[in-house]
Amino acid sequence: MLIYNSQTHRKEEFKPIDAGRVRMYVCGPTVYDQIHIGNARTFLSFDVIRRYLQYKGYQVTFAQNLTDVDDKIINRANETGTTAAAVAEEFSAAFIEQMHRFGILDPDIRPRATREIEAMQDMISLLIEKGFAYVASNGDVYFSVRSDTHYGVLSGRDLDQLRAGERVEVNDEKHDPFDFALWKAAKPGEPSWPSPWGEGRPGWHTECCAMIHRYLGTPIDIHGGGADLIFPHHENETAQAMCAWNAPLANVWMHAGMLRVDGEKMSKSLGNFYTLKEVLDKYPADAVRLLMLQTHYRAPLDFSFERLEGTVGTVQRLKGCVRNLRWTAKNAQEDGVLTDADRAFGAAIDEARKEFTSQMDDDFNTAGALAAIFGLVTTANTYLKEAGDNTSTSVTIRASDTLCELCAVLGIDLVDTNSKEELPEELVDLAVEYAGYKGTSASEAAQALLAARQAARSEKNWTLADNIRDAIAGLGLSVEDTPAGARLIKKD
């Protein structure tokens, strides 16, 4: 398996520190508002990476934090006349809810910054003791960037070539403009905790580093996040780890590309800023996932609602193929001697699985993996159309199971309610009226109605056939004709 390492700028063979185990951390949100679809793209990318590692047999320990103390949270509290703690609690719950709606697996460990103050203070004390940090006269504690001879190892930034004040905070308390806060002295009305340096709160860059060391140890196998975090956040994280514990924070750094909307940077001023909640309120999560996964995780993603509309139909075609395969297998005769078409279809299933794995092993190329899935769907549809009643039960079941399995690795569920035969009881009344049915089973009533419709069509009684079809449609169902016979499905 090859993974692109942001630090070395090349694909490398993945070798976990402990054989068969992967320790993985992805920076979570600052909980002051609903997350936007750019955030969601990052969390989806690493959800799929985690799922695939598990699919390959690795035991993955996945951690993701919640930054629940920050300037943005404090500002939101001041704007709304509430407390920072209330803002953080509200949007922590909102984030977790939207992740569940989006099909993102819960992390194994979800530390919250406000509950890890002691670990952060221990790390800060160690950095001060080792001469990599200092206490300013106002009670702030700063990391001395120029004391770290390895600074810039991740981002490639050269401090001497950066202008003072560019993406860094400049104030008179710092020894150097590039020094960053490990601990911020308390200000009136802000949340704070006691410390050896006075009341205050941790700096953003300090939080993740201390929590990773506490819960996963350092170095970890994989550290991930959005590309916008490479500098200064992740650079500052790994600098602290190297100086505190004489070890890199992570062996592999992975970063997801940015999201644009209709070719433009997403921003509220352009009117193209969308939260994940807004999108999921209108579109199925599977369709949003599919749209995002059609672009490699490192590449910029161009999001558009026109493309999203298209993926809604694509998901339905995927589900329809699985439904057709299972319906055909259920109604086919037991396998006899496999035909040439059966064997060719079986070989195509094996090739699709092989290609899917090959693409995912190449730096988690979900676009290539989806191409393998779509290719199998095309082959399956052709097989069903051409084989007619002469299908192989075992091969069609294997194709269905393979499609469901591979899509599940991407977090897309192809087993919908149409495959569970949950038919309305009102079908019995229709079957009594149109087919003379005398039983009480909705499933049997459906078959009686379909048989009556087919008989009417054979007799060219189009009025009766249409009446049966319309009555069925009135119950939210439609008639679908397949090579294995007609069936009822729930209308989308």
Reported as a single tens digit per residue, the pLDDT across 105-143 is: 999 999 999 999 999 999 999 999 999 999 999 999 999
Q: Give the domain CATH number at 367.
A: 1.20.120.640
For residues 250 and 210, give the distance between their C-alpha atoms in angstroms, rounded to a whole number: 13
Q: Is the pTM of this model over 0.85?
A: yes
Domain finish residue from 369, 393, 416: 416
| Residue 8 pLDDT level (bands cut at 50, 70, 90) | very high
Region 175-197 average pLDDT:
94
Percent of the chain scored above 70 by pLDDT?
A: 94
Domain shared by 197 and 344, yes or no: no
Flag whether pLDDT at 426 surpasses 90: no
Query: Is residue 5 a part of any domain in this protein?
Result: no
Residue 403's domain comprises 301-416
**Cα distance between residue 228 and residue 139, in whole Å:** 30
Confidence label for 163 from pLDDT (cuts 50, 70 and 90): low
Whether residues 27 and 170 share a domain: the answer is yes
Instruction: Tell me the one-letter amino acid at 156.
Output: G
Same domain for 27 and 96? yes
Same domain, 363 and 267: no
295 assigned to some structural domain: no
User: In the predicted model, what is the mean pLDDT of residues 72-92?
Assistant: 96
pLDDT class for 295, splitting at 50, 70, 90?
Answer: very high
Question: Considering the domain boundaries, does residue 11 fall inside one?
Answer: no
The helix or strand, by DSSP H or E, that contains position 177, with its residue range, turns out to be none
- How many domains are contained in the chain? 3
Cα three-residue angle 416-422-428, rounded to 5 degrees: 150
Q: Which pLDDT belongs to residue 492?
A: 59
Q: Are residues 411 and 432 located together in one domain of the fold?
A: no
- Round the CA-based radius of gyration of the chain to a whole number and report it: 29
What is the arithmetic mean of pLDDT over 157-170? 64
Question: In this prediction, what percent of the chain has a pLDDT beyond 90?
Answer: 72
Of 416, 439, 469, which residue constitutes the final position of a domain? 416
Q: Is 38 left (phi over 0), alpha (psi -120 to 50) or beta?
A: alpha
- Co-location of 153 and 217 in the same domain: yes
Give a yes or no: residue 4 inside a domain. Answer: no
Reduce the secondary structure of 38-89 to three states and give it as a string: HHHHHHHHHHHHHHHHHHCCCEEEEEECEECCCHHHHHHHHHHCCCHHHHHH
Evaluate if residue 289 carries a pLDDT over 90. Answer: yes
Q: What's the confidence (pLDDT) of residue 9?
A: 96
The residue type found at 377 is V
Q: Which of 150-159, 450-459, 480-489 is modeled with the greatest confidence?
A: 150-159
Across-strand partners of 490? Answer: 477
User: How many angstroms separate the CA atoms of 380 and 370, rounded?
Assistant: 15
pLDDT for residue 420: 47
Phi-psi region of 230 (alpha: psi -120 to 50; beta: other; left: phi over 0): alpha
Listing DSSP states for 430-468 in one string gives: HHHHHH------HHHHHHHHHHHHHHHHHTT-HHHHHHH
Residue 288 domain-assigned (yes or no): no
Highest mean pLDDT among 73-82, 418-427, 483-492: 73-82
Do residue 174 and residue 260 come from a single domain? yes
Lookup result for tokens 């090859």: 2
Q: Which of 237, 253, 282 is the last residue of a domain?
A: 282
Q: Is there a contact between 367 and 295 (Cβ–Cβ < 8 Å)?
A: yes
Maximum Cα–Cα distance across the chain: 96
- The answer to whether position 294 is within a domain reads no
pLDDT for 455? 85
Residue 231: Cβ within 10 Å count: 16
Domain CATH code at residue 225: 3.40.50.620
Residues 217, 69 share a domain = yes
d(CA 27, CA 5): 17
**How many Å apart are CA 266 and CA 287, to the nearest integer?**
20
Q: Are strands 220-226 and 250-256 parallel, antiparallel or unpaired?
A: parallel
DSSP for 248-296, written as a single string = -SEEEEEEEPPEEETTEE--GGGT---BHHHHHTTS-HHHHHHHHHTS-
Same-domain status, 409 and 432: no
Residue 313 and residue 458 share a domain: no
User: Distance of alpha carbon 97 from its chain centroid, rounded?
Assistant: 14
Is residue 66 within 8 Å of 73, Cβ to Cβ? no
The Cα 76–Cα 84 span in angstroms is 8
**Whole-number Å distance between alpha carbons of 142 and 48:** 37
Structure tokens at 463: 């009025």
**In whole angstroms, what separates CA 30 from the centre of its chain?**
18
Do 237 and 170 share a structural domain? yes
Cross-strand bridge partners of residue 129: none
pLDDT in tens, 333-366: 566 678 899 999 999 999 999 999 999 999 999 9
Q: Is 178 inside any structural domain?
A: yes
* 308 domain residue, yes or no: yes
- For residue 199, the number of C-alpha atoms closer than 13 Å in the C-beta half-sphere is 7
Q: Residue 350 in contact with residue 363, Cβ under 8 Å? A: no
Which residue reads 């750094």 in tokens? 253
Indicate whether 192 and 254 sit together in one domain.
yes
* Long-range CB contacts for residues 70-75, cutoff 8 Å, separation at least 24: 70/30, 70/32, 70/204, 72/30, 72/32, 73/30, 73/31, 73/32, 74/190, 74/191, 75/32
> pLDDT per residue over 440-470, tens digit each?
788 788 888 888 888 888 888 889 888 988 8
